Chain A
Amino acid sequence: MTIILAALRTPARILVALAPAFAVALLLPQAAFADFLTPENGGSDNADAIDTLYKVVFAMAMVILAGVWAALLYSMVKFRARRGAVPAQIRGNTRLEIGWTVGAALVLVVLAVVTFVMLDDIRNAPESDRTGVQLQRVGQPTGTPDTEAVPPSGRSLRIQVNGLQYVWRFTYADDDDNLLNNAFSYEEMVVPVDTTVTLEIKAQDVVHSWWIPELGGKMDAVPGHTNWTWFKIPGKHAGRTFRGQCAELCGRNHANMLAHVRAVTPEEYEAFIEQRKREIKESNDEAARQRKRIEAEESR
Chain B
Amino acid sequence: MQAAAAPTTTRTELPAVPQVLAHEVEPEPRGWRAWVMTTDHKRIGIMYLVTTFVFFLMGGVEALLIRLQLGTPENTLLSPQTYNALFTMHGTTMVFLFVVPIFAGFGNYFLPLMIGARDMAFPKLNALSYWLLLAGGVVFYGSMFFSPPEAGWTMYPPLSGEFFSETGGVDSWIFLIHLTGLSSLLGAVNFYATIANMRAPGMGWGRLPLFVWTLLVYSVLLILALPVVAAAVTMLLTDRHFGTNFFDPNQGGDPLLYQHLFWFFGHPEVYIMILPGFGIISEVLPVFSRKPIFGYKAVAAATAVIAFLSLIVWAHHMFTVPQPAIVLVFFMLSSFLIAIPTGVKVFNWVATLWRGTVEYRTPLLFACAFIAVFVAGGVTGVILAIFPVDWQLHDTYFVIAHFHYTLVGGAIFSIFAGIYYWFPKITGRMLSEGLGKWSCAIMFVGFNLTFAIQHTIGLEGMPRRIYEYQDIGNLGLYNLISTVGAFVFGLGILLTVINVVRSVKGGTPAGPDPWKGNTLEWFTTSPPPVNNFDAIPRIRSVEPMKDIRRQVERGTPAVHQPAEAAPEHSVVA
Contact = CB atoms under 8 A, between A and B. Distances in A.
Interface of A: 35-40, 47, 49-50, 53-54, 57-58, 61, 64-65, 68-69, 71-72, 75-76, 79-82, 85-93, 96-97, 100-101, 104-105, 108, 111-112, 115, 118-119, 122-123, 146-147, 165, 205-207, 209, 211, 213, 216-220, 222-228, 243-256
A36 B457 CA distance: 9
B337 A108 contact: yes
B514 to A, nearest CB: 16
B256 interface: yes
A294 B395 CA distance: 48
Interface in B366-399: 368, 371-372, 375-376, 379-380, 382-383, 386, 388-396
A92 B295 contact: yes
Given A79-B358, A253-B80, A213 B461 contact: yes
Given A101-B340, A220-B320, A72 B350 contact: yes
B193 interface: no
Nearest 5 interchain pairs by C-beta: A217-B391, A224-B249, A255-B466, A75-B353, A92-B295
B292 interface: yes
Nearest to A214: B461
A82 B392 contact: no
A50 B158 CA distance: 31
A262 B358 CA distance: 60
Contact of A50 (B292, B296, B322, B389): B389
Contacts of A216: 391-392
A88 B256 contact: no
Contacts of B565: none
A223 B356 CA distance: 58
Contacts of B456: 36-37
Nearest to A147: B324
A248 B322 CA distance: 14
B392 A54 contact: yes
B392 A115 contact: no
B159 A249 contact: yes
B547 interface: no
Interface of B: 80-81, 84, 150-152, 156, 158-159, 164, 249-250, 253-256, 289-298, 320-322, 324-325, 332-333, 336-337, 339-340, 343-344, 346-348, 350-351, 353-360, 368, 371-372, 375-376, 379-380, 382-383, 386, 388-396, 455-456, 459-461, 463-469, 472-473
26 contacts: A39-B459, A40-B461, A50-B389, A54-B389, A54-B392, A57-B382, A65-B379, A68-B375, A75-B358, A81-B290, A87-B356, A90-B291, A90-B294, A90-B351, A90-B354, A91-B296, A112-B336, A123-B388, A217-B394, A219-B322, A223-B249, A245-B466, A247-B394, A253-B80, A255-B467, A255-B468
A84 to B, nearest CB: 10
Given A72-B353, A104-B344, A213-B461, A81 B359 contact: yes
A63 to B, nearest CB: 10
A40 B389 contact: no
A244 B466 CA distance: 13
Given A76-B368, A79-B289, A224-B249, A252 B383 contact: no
Given A68-B375, A255-B468, A89 B357 contact: no
A253 B360 CA distance: 49
A79 B357 contact: yes
Most chain-B CB neighbours within 10 Å: which of A118, A225, A243? A225
Contacts of B253: 224
B472 A243 contact: yes
A285 B407 CA distance: 59
A82 B353 contact: no
A211 B81 CA distance: 23
Contact of B358 (A39, A81, A217): A81
A122 B325 CA distance: 12
Contact of A87 (B159, B355, B465): B355
B291 A87 contact: yes
Contacts of A92: 294-298
Given A101-B340, A224-B249, A82 B368 contact: no
A223 B255 contact: yes
A118 B386 CA distance: 11
Given A61-B379, A207-B159, A243-B472, A249 B151 contact: yes
Nearest to A104: B343
B571 to A, nearest CB: 23
A108 B291 contact: no
A222 B322 contact: yes
B80 to A, nearest CB: 4
B357 A87 contact: yes
Contacts of A38: 459
Contacts of A89: 291-292
A75 B350 contact: yes
Contacts of B396: 247
A112 B533 CA distance: 53
Contact of B159 (A80, A247, A251): A251
B466 A79 contact: no
B152 A91 contact: no
Given A72-B372, A80-B358, A249-B156, A111 B336 contact: yes
Contacts of A76: 353, 358, 368
B507 to A, nearest CB: 23
Contacts of A252: 80-81, 84, 150
Contacts of A40: 392, 459-461
Contacts of A36: 456, 459
Contacts of B395: 209, 218, 247-248
A53 to B, nearest CB: 6
Most chain-A CB neighbours within 10 Å: which of B295, B388, B466? B388
Given A205-B158, A223-B158, A68 B346 contact: yes
Nearest to B154: A249
Given A101-B344, A207-B156, A217 B296 contact: no
Given A92-B297, A250-B159, 4 more contacts: A50-B392, A64-B379, A207-B159, A254-B465
B546 to A, nearest CB: 10
B359 A225 contact: no
Nearest to B379: A61
Contact of B372 (A69, A217, A228): A69
Contacts of B382: 57, 61, 108, 111
B383 A87 contact: no
B325 A123 contact: yes
B354 A75 contact: yes
Contacts of A224: 249-250, 253-255
B321 A249 contact: no
A206 B388 contact: no
